[in-house]
Amino acid sequence: MEKEQNLKSDNHKAKESDISKDSQNTSSNISNDEETNPENLTDKSPEEKILDLEDKLTRTFAEMENQRRRFEKEKEEAFEYGGFALAKEALNLIDNLERSKQILENDDDLKNSDILKKTLDHLDVINKDLMSIFSKNNIKPIESLNKKLDPNFHQAMMEIEDDTKEAGTIVQEIQKGFIIKDRLLRPSLVGVSKKTENELKKNEENKADLGDK
């Protein structure tokens, strides 16, 4: 019996020793973690903790403000340009009216007839009404003829020899372009002037003469 009691006592002491060692190891690990991770330091002063909290709050509020500004900008753009796609599709009505006029005007059977005149007048009324609706919604045509080619608003489709105009001047409008407020709906398709071969030769000869002098 004494031996059994002694064995139990020894086992109990061994367990207590193991628990003590585990406790020391755990304490050591916590101490190491606190040394390697400054955020876990328990010796921070109240002032330092307050500064950390203020820094986190400042960052959070800054991010919230940035998100609010992005949301406001997206909302404004949606309000101002929400009808962009519809407006772009509506331009087809203007194009179709213009094509219809050209077809009727080139019809030999209708030329100089009263019915042609009345039909063209009706088409003009419809065109004016459409342009008025566009204007009320800040959709405006781009001025092109006799203007200098601007890649932001014009797309050159052809070159036309014309010595009376400066090279790069728009002399023909193939398809009218439009803007909505300050945004391009579609560019104007245009023909631009270029100098004839004779004019180019004259310019080269004049430059050569000036160089000799």
Q: What is the mean pLDDT of residues 16-34?
A: 46
**Residue 44's pLDDT is what?**
75
Evaluate if residue 31 carries a pLDDT over 70: no
**Residue 23's pLDDT is what?**
46
- State pLDDT tens for residues 126-162: 999 999 999 988 899 999 999 999 999 999 999 999 8
Domains of the chain, each with CATH number or no CATH: 141-213 (2.30.22.10)
DSSP calls for 60-93: HHHHHHHHHHHHHHHHHHHHHHTTHHHHHHHHHH
Residues in contact with 81: Cβ distance below 8 Å, sequence separation at least 6, in sequence order: 180, 181, 183
- State pLDDT tens for residues 37-84: 444 445 678 888 888 888 888 888 888 888 888 877 766 665 566 678
DSSP calls for the chain: -HHHHHHHHHHHHHHHHHHHHHHHHHHHHHHHHHHH-GGG-S---HHHHHHHHHHHHHHHHHHHHHHHHHHHHHHHHHHHHTTHHHHHHHHHHHHHHHHHHHHHHT-TTTTT-HHHHHHHHHHHHHHHHHHHHHHHTTEEEPP-TTSBP-TTTEEEEEEEE-TTS-TTBEEEEEE--EEETTEEEEPEEEEEEE--HHHHHHHHHHHHHHHH-
**Residue 75's pLDDT is what?**
65
- State pLDDT tens for residues 162-172: 888 899 999 99
